[in-house]
Amino acid sequence: MNKIIKDACILFAITLIAGVLLGCVYEVTKNPIANQNEKAKQNAYKAVMADADSFEAIQGQNFTDGPTTITSNSQDFSADEIVEAVAGVKNNKIVGYVITIVAGDGYGGDIKFSVGIKADGTYAGTSILSISETAGLGMRAKTDPSFLGQLEGKKVEQFNVVKDGTGSSADDKVDAIGGSTITSKAIVKGVNAALAYYQVSLKDVKTVGGASVE
Asked whether residue 7 is domain-assigned, the answer is: no
- The whole-angstrom separation of Cα 164 and Cα 73 is 26
Residue 23 counted as domain residue: no
Q: What b/e readout covers 112-121, taking b as 16+ CB neighbours within 10 angstroms?
A: bbbbbbbbeb
Q: Is residue 32 part of a domain?
A: no
Say which range, 65-74, 89-98, 140-149, has the weakest mean pLDDT.
65-74
Name the more confident of 176 and 74.
176
**What is the C-alpha to C-alpha distance for residues 210 and 207, in angstroms, rounded to an integer?**
7
Predicted model pTM: 0.80
Residues 55-70, mean pLDDT to the nearest whole number: 82
Number of domain units in the chain:
1
Residue 103 domain boundaries: 54-213
Per the CB < 8 A criterion, the answer to whether 53 and 89 are in contact is yes
- Write phi, then psi, for 36 (nearest 5 degrees): -65, -40
Greater pLDDT, 85 or 41: 85
In a domain, 75, yes or no: yes
Cβ distance 185 to 105 under 8 Å?
Answer: yes
In a domain, 149, yes or no: yes
Domain contains 28? no
Least Cα distance to 175 among 149, 157, 156, 142 occurs for: 149
Mean per-residue pLDDT over the chain, rounded: 86
- The answer to whether residue 1 is domain-embedded is no
